[in-house]
Structure 1
Amino acid sequence: MNMAHSAAEFGNTTDSDWRVLSSLTSCWVAFQQWRRRGRLQAELCDLSDRGLMDIGIARGEIEYATSIQGSEPPRGF
């Protein structure tokens, strides 16, 4: 079986190919954001109550503070 492909074969991408690639890219970005939020939540949970107060977050607000889309992490991170 010949596995060699010409460059022309890869150059002919259709709209459906781009949609699939775009969907996969979106999934990858969402996965990375989910992992980043998880790491941030873990770091915030490791802080003392005093440390959380210093950055203006109560322990009960950690999940909400890390779930806000498009926002910057709390000060100090």
Structure 2
Amino acid sequence: MSTIHGTTEFGPATARRQYYSPLEAYWDAFCEWRKRERLRTQPCCLTDSELMDIGITRGEIDFVASNPSIDPTDFRSS
């Protein structure tokens, strides 16, 4: 006869998916790339003064498109 000592708790479900085919993984990566490209091209159409109004420079557009959760103004010294 066996006795169980302790309990096992269930952790939160993760958002990471298991890919069963390489095609699905490539398609998801392609869709993410297209989304980043759209985010990058929209601010490129703005003028420099419009970019200053929202707090970024033309050189920071790629950074902001690649890292939308990071605020580029945190890295400025002035």
- Which TM-score band (shorter chain)? 0.5 to 0.7
Residue-pair matches, total: 52
Unaligned runs of 5+ in 1: 1-17, 73-77
Identity of aligned residues (%): 46
Structure 1 stretches of at least 4 aligned residues deviating more than 3 Å after TM superposition: none
Matching residue of 1:64: 63
Cα deviation for residue 45 of structure 1 reads 0.6
Q: Does 1:43 align with 2:46?
A: no
Q: Distance in 2 between matches of 1:27 and 1:38?
A: 16
Per residue, is there more helix in 1 or in 2?
A: 1
Amino acid in the other structure paired with 1:71: S
Unaligned runs of 5+ in 2: 1-18, 71-78
TM-score where L is the length of structure 1: 0.56
